[in-house]
Amino acid sequence: AIEALRTRLQALRTRLRQARRPGIVGVNIGRNKTTVNEQAHEDYVRCLEQVYVDASYIAVNISSPNTPGLRDLQHEESLRGLLSAVTAACERLTVQHGYRPPLALKIAPDLEPADVELISGLLLEYEFDGVIVSNTTLARDGLRSADRGQTGGLSGAPLCERSDAILSKVVAGVGGRVAVIGVGGGGTLDAAKAV
């Protein structure tokens, strides 16, 4: 699994360097599907090391519903361990490269209020630059589609209300000290202005 991860990371670095174009390039990092959460921090650090100098910012994704068990990293003990490992690696890489890309944490829309409060506090404690709210949802509340039983993350309009609720809680929780990037469900300018 480690060799497969190295191969994919090298391919990503090659594409990033060949595609040099103006603008912001965000790189989303996460754990490998087969890595257990107790070792997840190792995958995140490996990814961070590989994309560090090529990324305008790095999103630490703990919210993909398509990676089994990944969202368990949103719980306090696991999240503290992960954020500690990522920030320590970032400090080392900053000294090595003389540069620090902003770090953002990407969270799920399916969080409980207590989880949002905890995550907001940890973003401040570990001095993250941003938070991305939110990934796709696993919820299917109110869907009438014949496809509502499909697995995986749901995006688009059905996500908007749920994502906006988490977004509002995060904005309040970080008090303007962390950049908050709202994604998920909003498809119009009016929807963006409403948050």
As beta bridge partners, residue 133 has 107, 182
- Catalytic option among 64, 120, 134, 163: 64
CA R_g for the chain:
17
Q: How many CB atoms lie within 10 A of CB 3?
A: 7
| Dihedral (CA of 51, 54, 58, 64) sign | negative
* Cis omega (within 30 of 0) for bond into 120: no
CA-CA distance, 3 to 9, in Å (whole number)? 10
Query: Quick check: is 134 catalytic?
Result: no
Catalogue the active-site residues.
64
